[in-house]
Amino acid sequence: MRLAKRRLAERTAGFTESVIREMTRLVAMHGGINLAQGFPNFPAPSEIKDAAKRAIDGDVNQYAITWGAPSLRRALARTYGELYGMDVDPERMITVTCGATEAMVSALLAIVDPGDEVVVLEPFYENYGPDAAICGARPVYVPIRHPALRFEEEELRRAFSPRTKAVIVNTPNNPTGRVFDRTELELIAELCQEHDVIAVTDEIYEHIRYEGAHIPLATLDGMADRTITISSASKTFSVTGWRVGWIVAPAELTAGIRKVHDFLTVGAPAPLQEAVAEALALGRPYFDKLSAGYRARRELLFGALETAGFSPRLPQGAYYILCDISGFGFHDDTAFARWLITEVGVAGVPGSSFFSRPELGRDLLRFTFCKTDEVLRDAGERLLTTRDRADRR
């Protein structure tokens, strides 16, 4: 008899396909407005597009240095210095990656051993679950509770143990829209130091804020040498398809991260790195304008959702609105999300995809507002029909 081996490795069993990307495919199939996956439908700034074209025409078409083009690492070091007063050595502390997605996996693979615990604030961006599974980490979840959307000090304290290797912190937060304040970050910093834990921060929405300041955890006392800071060009410059992200970390951690990154991807797209380096020079005026534009879109979608009976929660940052859908008589967020696509023609992300246990997100749906006013207005009009259609079901 032939020996039958399991074809798929066990690590693939611990997670499912991305629900966010599934919703994108579903709405493309049925036709409708995609307010599910967070990618802008408006053009990237002409400066960054022109710079990319120049780089390609200038034959920057071969591998960049594995850990990033020198021009981009220099631009990043300058930017972190100017905006946050961080002292970043571009030679030893920066790794340019294929988006924040690869950055998170590379960082975790570099620091987490199978069986290590990783503290994750919940709800969380759905990638962190699979990221932990790929590393063989054991996630320990700490709730961010409605309505204040703060975590409880005691619950966070309890989550840290001698087995904790890392904590993942995402601020501005996807999906809650929270921008964590100094007091909250100080508690995380204190626990990291007390338990010798590394903080891995996802700061991809750092320039999309409506309230509060962005405080990189790395800038808090004692945190520079135990924080891995991740960000990306995707949301800041509306180029989610370029796959250019980066990691800022102490030299010792960077050395390990660069090895993982090298053998996973070799490097991020070379000409696009040149373009991001140039775009970073747009600096504060550009970042402020970005937030102002998103603030207007936030008002537009929030108003429409409120009128349509979705009980939206106003975000402080990032470009998502979480809604309470319990009023529509569905008891399953995924069924509701599918129904909304086929019957109303608008896609959102079911709340359960942001929780470790689906029942915790049953009443929630996330919409993004990184779309033009016209699309948001159209979505608003369609959503207005939700109540009637749900009642007639």
Measured from the CB atom, is 60 or 108 closer to ligand GLN? 108
117 vs 202, beta carbon nearer ligand GLN: 202
Chain residues binding ligand GLN by CB under 6 A are 20-21, 37-38, 101, 125, 174
State the nearest-atom distance from the C-beta of 235 to ligand GLN, in Å.
8
Residue nearest to ligand GLN as judged by C-beta position = 38
CB of 331 to ligand GLN, least distance (A): 24
Look at phi and psi of residue 18 and say left if phi exceeds 0, alpha if psi is from -120 to 50, else beta. Answer: beta
Helix (H) or strand (E) holding 201: strand 198-202
Q: Name residue, tokens 């990043």.
A: 76
Which CB sits closer to ligand GLN, 160 or 237? 237
Q: What is the spatial distance between Cα 347 and Cα 355, in angstroms, rounded to a whole number?
A: 19
**Length reported for the chain:** 393
3-state secondary structure of 228: strand
Comparing CB distances to ligand GLN, the nearer of 125 and 328 is: 125
- Contact yes or no for 156/108 (Cβ under 8 A): no
Which among 32, 166, 195 is positioned nearest to 105, based on CA atoms? 166
Looking at the Cβ atoms of 174 and 386, the one nearer to ligand GLN is 174
Q: Report the relative pairing of strands 312-313 and 320-324 from DSSP bridges.
A: antiparallel
| Nearest distance, CB of residue 325 and ligand GLN, angstroms | 18
Q: What angle do CA 307, 311, 315 make, to 5 degrees?
A: 105
How would you classify the pairing of strands 150-151 and 138-145?
antiparallel
272, 242 contact by CB (below 8 A): yes
Rounded distance between C-alpha atoms, residue 54 and residue 47, angstroms: 11
Q: How far is the CB of 16 from ligand GLN (least distance, A)?
A: 14
Least distance between ligand GLN and beta carbon 127 (Å): 7
Nearer to ligand GLN by C-beta: 19 or 51? 19
How many CB atoms lie under 10 A from the CB of residue 47? 15
Min dist CB 372 to ligand GLN, Å, is 17
* Minimal distance, residue 3 CB to ligand GLN, in Å: 39
- Measured from the CB atom, is 20 or 253 closer to ligand GLN? 20
Q: Are 218 and 229 in contact (CB under 8 A)?
A: yes
